[in-house]
Chains A and B, each alone.
Chain A
Amino acid sequence: MTILQTRPVVARPEGGSLIEQFELGLDAPICLTWELTYACNLECAHCLSSSGKRDPRELDTDQCKAVIDELQRMQVFYVNIGGGEPTIRPDFWELLDYAVSHDVGVKFSTNGVRLDPERARFLASTDYVDVQISLDGATPEVNDYVRGPGSYDTAITALKNLQDAGFKDAKISVVCTRQNIGQLDEFKAIADQYGATLRLTRLRPSGRGADVWDELHPLPEQQRELYDWLVANGEDVLTGDSFFHLSAFGVADGGGALPGLNLCGAGRVVCLIDPIGDVYACPFAIHDNFLAGNLLADGGFENVWQKSELFNDLRSPQTSGACTTCAFFDACRGGCMAAKFFTGLPLDGPDPECVQGYGETALASGGRVLPQQGKDHSKANPTRNQPIMLTLTRRDDLQAPPVSACAEDPLAGLTF
């Protein structure tokens, strides 16, 4: 997509498809992501918000409550709360209560660190709260490789605590990577075991994700594997509509698009409020290019949502360049804006993971300049929770331990 210099004013059609309406934006988001803090106990390698340290400018309790009041007035019926790790804010539970009692439902994402049996019982007693536990591997080896040592056990303990407390239908949120695509059935089994629902989402090259995207993003054949798995199991699995770039598979084989909007909702039906009150077009685009304004400095969230020049641009017709002539354009609509931006691809070209292969060509064509990431709250020094993305292997060409040049044994270097 390219943001046009002069915007034609398009009259909103009466009737028409929902997608056409959504492309022109809504008076308030359908739902939004609200990151409460950049502080986190973990240091996941692919953190999309480069979280770690708290930002001293983070909204305080009263400011957060004022945001909730405004969301209630705008009739935003639920928010996805994340971070950082939102539950390590001392006022997290107070804010949760406040939101729910003001008709703003909450789904919060957590690594599970604070979900002890007592908290689990509290959560089970509420009926307008959803909990989403992050798990990026169905085994400790695969999960801890990117999320850090011990994080698998933390997540599973939290799931168990929730189940024991009688909390119904927690979500297990998985970022699909090269390392875990082969574990989809195992993830489903874990979800079934804990009475939870599986949610699969796409790895974005955002935040620290940009550093590891080349190594973690699913290979082309794994994309197909993922699409086929979603078609077969999609009914019981949530995706946050994040795989619309895979829908182009469906056109070719008649298998159809994946359920969901299949539309980039950035600035149109969704957005992100970050811990300091900056409003971005989407959770995967924490960068000045996608910053619509600040709800403290620019007269509140509603004002930013409705009046921001950036958001109004996103709600006007976009050009999609070469993609427009592709037979699959109606299925994927050019893919994910953030994925293109953070891999240094033009916004009016193919998605880096375009299933027709145009993304690989574009990535290989050179001349890409990766943009600077927006905000970095990573910890200055690694802690014991930092994932170590190394795997011990043997060199294929060595059959035996190397032999020192000084070895005098006549049998040195011989293998039997």
Chain B
Amino acid sequence: MMMSTDMLNEPWDLSPAVALRPEPFGAMAYHFGNRKLTFLKRMKLVEVVRALAGQPDIRSALEATGVPEAQWPGYVAALQGLAATDMIRQRVTGQARTVQKGVA
């Protein structure tokens, strides 16, 4: 499996329209704009998503939350899934967070 190294080096953030609700197994993410509902099935993934805002890129967020490098591809895949429904979106450095990374 190819890992998107691009995404690892990019700054990402929780979408402004998304709320994360803690659950015993992880979190429920709700997007007020497109009304999509997603479940984050691991606590660690929730930690990573919450860490995104404070980190310059995804790599740093994974390091900061102590995800072993061997597991990064799995986390990147999960983050790509979240990006596909606009749960997280790419942060444009130094600009307002309005541009969404085009994800098919």
Q: Which residues of A approach B to under 8 Å, CB–CB?
A: 12-16, 18, 21, 24, 26-28, 30, 75, 77-78, 103, 105, 128
Contacts and interface: CB of A to CB of B under 8 A. Distances in A.
Nearest to A105: B35
Nearest to B19: A75
B62 to A, nearest CB: 18
Given A24-B24, A75-B19, 17 more contacts: A12-B24, A14-B42, A15-B42, A21-B41, A26-B24, A26-B28, A27-B21, A27-B22, A28-B21, A30-B28, A30-B37, A75-B30, A77-B30, A77-B37, A78-B35, A103-B19, A105-B35
Contacts of A21: 23-25, 39, 41
Contacts of B35: 78, 105
Interface string B1-44: 00000000000000000010111110010101001010101110
Contacts of A24: 24
Interface string B76-88: 0000000000000
A103 B41 CA distance: 24
B21 A12 contact: no
Interface of B: 19, 21-25, 28, 30, 32, 35, 37, 39, 41-43
A77 B19 contact: yes
16 contacts: A12-B24, A12-B25, A14-B25, A14-B43, A15-B41, A21-B41, A26-B28, A27-B21, A27-B22, A27-B24, A28-B21, A30-B28, A75-B19, A103-B19, A105-B32, A105-B35
B29 to A, nearest CB: 10
Nearest to A74: B21
Nearest to B25: A21
Nearest to B42: A15
Q: A-side binding surface: helix, strand, loop or mixed?
A: loop
B75 to A, nearest CB: 13
A26 B22 CA distance: 9
A128 B42 CA distance: 29
B25 A128 contact: no
Nearest to B39: A18
A24 B23 CA distance: 11
Contacts of B41: 15-16, 18, 21
A15 B22 CA distance: 15
B64 to A, nearest CB: 21
A6 B34 CA distance: 43
Contacts of A103: 19, 32
B55 to A, nearest CB: 24
Contacts of A16: 25, 41
A21 B19 CA distance: 20
A75 B21 contact: yes
Contacts of B32: 77, 103, 105, 128
Contacts of A128: 32
B34 to A, nearest CB: 12
A13 B30 CA distance: 23
B20 to A, nearest CB: 9
